[in-house]
Amino acid sequence: MKLLKVEKFKGSATEYINKYIIPTLPENNVLIEFSDSLDNYLKNEDSIRIIRKFGDSKFRGSRYTHQNINYIVSDNEAALWMYMQSMEDGVSDYEETIKNKKMPIAFAITKEERERGLIYNKYGKQRREKEFSQLGYKHCHLFECSPRGKDLDYLNLNQRMIRLLNPMNHFPFPSNRKYEMPYDYGEKKEFLSLVLQQLLDRKYKTKNDRIKFEEFIEKSGSSKLLKNKVEDFEINIGYEKNESDLKETNIEKTTNLMKLKLPNDFRNNFYVSQKLYGQNEVINVTFNNGRAHHGESYVYDHDNLVEACGEYLNNSDNWNNVGNWSNANNIPRWAMETGLVKRIK
């Protein structure tokens, strides 16, 4: 992986793109190989499409059909996995990857999704995806994978799959959750337009490379966005947020949630589970085993805690093999340190 730990930066957005983004991207020949493989995959109308979830198509791993073409929906895990493949010059055969379900479509599958029926059941994060996040980065898309409020007439299945899984549409940027910045530049249209302009000017400079990149833009339904020329502007990426800042943010988030939600799951043990994920459970734990924490009560939003502790859980044998993690004696340290578990008694 070419990425280095994020550094503080204040200055030209164009300078940042050319200094810190473009040099970290996969080589052009690798990106072209991935792009060609995806194009070949999409030539077969019998091949299932994988796109970002949207509207009523929200159950990851379930079969949907549009104009006689089958598709499933995913979250961003699929895109990040494919981007990591290209970063490591990995296998770019989409047919083989999807047929053998090598690519995850979610961090975790909910109980409702399991009950609806899965035709694609691969989820979780690998070591390299965790390292990507640990370095302080988020995974960004040049063109939106699932434009808000837009249906398949606006952006069709092939265009959505290209935007989600073609690494030409991906780039790394510091996470606004981990670094101080006025707003999330990685989601700002003006910044994305500058990234596109610099890719055309600085990365895809040879005739063949530029043709391939422009083909990707056209096939992804993004040609009209080439007209969005913008002037350079200043960006400010500050220091890494310390643990107390992140914990305070989580406490505020939990407090706000508790104002809106009452516990709906009462237990005598700490418990997180893949089957509970997505059920909007707010768990109240009261330990009653006569030990050190007997009589103490805690409350936490199950899904928020699972998402915050994804790195720990994905390295846990219980989580991976049994599908849950429990403790009848206390709240584990890794959960308490998030600030998302609130003691109420």
Residue 123 phi/psi, 5-degree rounding, is -150, 170
Q: Domain for residue 180, yes or no?
A: yes
Mark 205-236 as b/e (b = at least 16 C-beta within 10 Å): eeeeeeebbeebbebbbbeebeeeeeeeeebe
Q: Are residues 128 and 142 in the same domain?
A: yes
246 vs 125, 331, 339, CA distance in Å? Answer: 22, 19, 8
pTM (predicted TM-score): 0.78
Q: Are residues 156 and 279 in the same domain?
A: no
Query: Which tokens is 111 given?
Result: 């109980």
Q: Is the pLDDT of residue 311 over 50?
A: yes
How does residue 242 score in pLDDT terms, banded at 50, 70 and 90?
low
Q: Domain for residue 3, yes or no?
A: no
Q: Are residues 91 and 216 in the same domain?
A: yes
Indicate the residue among 210, 237, 264 that finishes a domain: 237
Q: Are residues 228 and 320 in the same domain?
A: no
CB 324 within 8 A of CB 275: yes
How does residue 257 score in pLDDT terms, banded at 50, 70 and 90?
very low
Q: Are residues 170 and 255 in the same domain?
A: no
Q: Are residues 229 and 247 in the same domain?
A: no
Q: Please give the residue that has the higher pLDDT: either 34 or 4.
A: 34
Q: Is the pLDDT of residue 50 over 50?
A: yes
Dihedral (CA of 85, 90, 93, 97) sign: negative
Residues 6+ apart with CB under 8 A from 169: 141, 142, 143, 145, 162, 163, 216, 220
Q: Are residues 161 and 101 in the same domain?
A: yes
Separation of alpha carbons 298 and 26, rounded Å:
46
Q: Please give the residue that has the higher pLDDT: either 111 or 173.
A: 173
Amino acid at 227: K
Indicate the residue among 216, 237, 258 that finishes a domain: 237
Q: Are residues 78 and 180 in the same domain?
A: yes
Q: Is the pLDDT of residue 243 over 60?
A: no
Q: Are residues 258 and 295 in the same domain?
A: yes
Q: Domain for residue 1, yes or no?
A: no
Q: Domain for residue 337, yes or no?
A: yes
Strand pairing category for 49-52 and 69-74:
parallel
Q: Is the pLDDT of residue 58 over 80?
A: yes
Please state which of the ranges 27-41, 183-197, 246-260 shows the lowest mean pLDDT.
Answer: 246-260
Q: What is the pLDDT of residues 270-284, one digit of tens each?
A: 999 988 887 788 999
User: Which pLDDT does position 260 carry in this prediction?
Assistant: 43
Q: Is the pLDDT of residue 251 over 60?
A: no
Q: Are residues 247 and 233 in the same domain?
A: no
Q: Are residues 301 and 157 in the same domain?
A: no
Separation of alpha carbons 212 and 226, rounded Å:
15
Separation of alpha carbons 201 and 192, rounded Å:
14
Separation of alpha carbons 271 and 98, rounded Å:
33
Q: Domain for residue 89, yes or no?
A: yes
Where in the sequence is the domain holding 86, given as residue range(s)?
Answer: 9-237
Q: Domain for residue 2, yes or no?
A: no
Mean pLDDT score of the chain, rounded to an integer? 88
Question: Cα 279 from chain centroid?
Answer: 20
Q: Are residues 229 and 250 in the same domain?
A: no
Query: Which tokens is 280 given?
Result: 């909007």
Domain tally, the chain: 2
Mark 286-311 as b/e (b = at least 16 C-beta within 10 Å): bbeeeeebeeebbbbbbbbbbebbbe
Mean per-residue pLDDT, 78-92? 86
